Structure 1
Amino acid sequence: GFQPDKLYAARSHPRALQMTVYGASDALYALGMNWDLIRSKVPAEQICVYAGSSMNQLDYNGYGGLLQARLLGRKITSKQLPLGFGEMPADFINAYILGNVGNSGTSLGACASFHYNLRQAVRDIQSGTHRVAVVGSVEAPLTPEIIEAFANMNALADDASLRALDAHLGLSEPDYRRACRPFGNNVGFTLAESAQFVVLFDDALAVELGANIHGAVNDVFINADGFKKSIASPGVGNYLTVARAAAATRAVLGEESLQQRSFVQAHGTSTPQNRVTESAIFSKVADHFGIEAWPVAALKSYLGHSIACSGADQLVMTLGVWQHGVIPGILTTGELAEDVSTSGLDFLLEHREVDPLAIDSAILNAKGFGGNNATASLLSPTVTRRMLEKRHGKAALGQWQKHNETVAAASAAYQQQCSHTHITPIYHYDHDVRDGTDLELSAAELKLRGYAAVDLDLDNPYGDMR
Structure 2
Amino acid sequence: MKVPKNRRVYVIGYGAATPLGATFVKSWERAVRGEAGFRKVTRCEVRTLSDVVGEIPDWDPRALDFVDEKELYNWNAAFVILTMAVCQEALRHAGLPMDSGTAPRTACLVGSALNGLDAFRIAVNRLEQKGPRHVSPYLLPNLCANVPAGKAGILLGFTGPIFSPQGACASGNHAIGLAARMIRDGDCDFALAGGVEMPLLPEIILGFANMTATVKVSSRDRAWQNPALASRPFSIDRKGFVLSEGAGVVVLAAEEKLATYGLRPRAEVLGVGWASDAWHFTEPNPETIVRTIREAIEDAGLGVADIQYVNAHGTSTPKGDRVEVECLKEVFGTRLKDIPISANKSQIGHTLGAAAAIDAALTIEGMQRGILLPTINYLPDPELEAYDFVPHEARRQQVELALSNAFGFGGTNCCLIFRGVS
SS of match in other structure, 2:384: coil
SS of match in other structure, 2:139: coil
Q: Which residue does the alignment assign to 1:122? A: 180
- Structure-2 change in CA distance of 1:93 and 1:175 (3 Å): same
Establish whether residue 143 from structure 1 lines up as the match of residue 188 from structure 2.
Answer: no
Which runs of 5 or more residues in structure 2 are unaligned? 1-57
Q: Which residue does the alignment assign to 1:414? A: none
**Corresponding residue pairs, total:** 355
If the length of structure 1 is used for normalisation, what is the TM-score? Answer: 0.72
Q: Which residue does the alignment assign to 1:434? A: none
- Structure-2 change in CA distance of 1:50 and 1:155 (3 Å): same
State how far apart, in whole Å, the 2-side matches of 1:6 and 1:208 are: 34
Q: Report the CA distance between 1:73 and its aligned residue.
A: 3.6
The answer to whether the Cα contact below 8 Å between 2:171 and 2:195 also exists between their aligned partners in 1 is: yes
Q: Which residue does the alignment assign to 1:376? A: 416
- Per mean C-alpha deviation after superposition, the further-off stretch among 4-13 and 303-312 is 4-13
SS of match in other structure, 2:382: coil
State how far apart, in whole Å, the 2-side matches of 1:363 and 1:96 are: 33
The answer to whether the Cα contact below 8 Å between 2:192 and 2:252 also exists between their aligned partners in 1 is: yes
The letter of the residue matching 2:384 is V
Establish whether residue 346 from structure 1 lines up as the match of residue 346 from structure 2.
Answer: no
The answer to whether the Cα contact below 8 Å between 1:279 and 1:341 also exists between their aligned partners in 2 is: no
The answer to whether the Cα contact below 8 Å between 1:267 and 1:366 also exists between their aligned partners in 2 is: yes
Establish whether residue 240 from structure 1 lines up as the match of residue 298 from structure 2.
Answer: no
The letter of the residue matching 1:321 is G
Q: Report the CA distance between 1:174 and its aligned residue.
A: 4.0
Q: Which residue does the alignment assign to 1:212? A: 264
1:224-257 CA-to-partner distances (Å, cap 9, x unmatched) read: 002x2x41111132111112223344x24x6653
Q: Which residue does the alignment assign to 1:268? A: 314
SS of match in other structure, 1:107: coil
Establish whether residue 67 from structure 1 lines up as the match of residue 124 from structure 2.
Answer: yes
The answer to whether the Cα contact below 8 Å between 1:154 and 1:188 also exists between their aligned partners in 2 is: yes
State how far apart, in whole Å, the 1-side matches of 2:353 and 2:91 are: 21
The letter of the residue matching 1:240 is R
SS of match in other structure, 2:187: coil
1:120-158 CA-to-partner distances (Å, cap 9, x unmatched) read: 111111112221111121111111111111111111112
The answer to whether the Cα contact below 8 Å between 1:52 and 1:107 also exists between their aligned partners in 2 is: yes
Alpha-carbon RMSD across the aligned residues, in angstroms, is: 2.0
If the length of structure 2 is used for normalisation, what is the TM-score? Answer: 0.79
Q: Report the CA distance between 1:272 and its aligned residue.
A: 0.7
Q: Which residue does the alignment assign to 2:344? A: 299
Establish whether residue 76 from structure 1 lines up as the match of residue 121 from structure 2.
Answer: no
- Structure-2 change in CA distance of 1:291 and 1:267 (3 Å): closer
Establish whether residue 336 from structure 1 lines up as the match of residue 380 from structure 2.
Answer: yes
Establish whether residue 364 from structure 1 lines up as the match of residue 404 from structure 2.
Answer: yes
SS of match in other structure, 2:84: helix
Q: Which residue does the alignment assign to 1:283? A: 329
Q: Report the CA distance between 1:29 and its aligned residue.
A: 1.5
State how far apart, in whole Å, the 1-side matches of 2:179 and 2:199 are: 25
Q: Which residue does the alignment assign to 1:406? A: none
- Per mean C-alpha deviation after superposition, the further-off stretch among 70-79 and 232-241 is 70-79
Q: Which residue does the alignment assign to 2:273? A: 221
Which runs of 5 or more residues in structure 1 are unaligned? 383-466
State how far apart, in whole Å, the 1-side matches of 2:110 and 2:376 are: 31
Q: Which residue does the alignment assign to 1:183? A: 234
The answer to whether the Cα contact below 8 Å between 2:272 and 2:299 also exists between their aligned partners in 1 is: no
Bigger-Rg structure (1/2) = 1
SS of match in other structure, 1:305: coil
Q: Which residue does the alignment assign to 2:81? A: 18
The share of aligned pairs that are identical, in percent, is 26
Q: Report the CA distance between 1:117 and its aligned residue.
A: 1.1
The letter of the residue matching 1:198 is V
Bigger helix fraction: 1
The letter of the residue matching 1:349 is P
The letter of the residue matching 1:351 is E
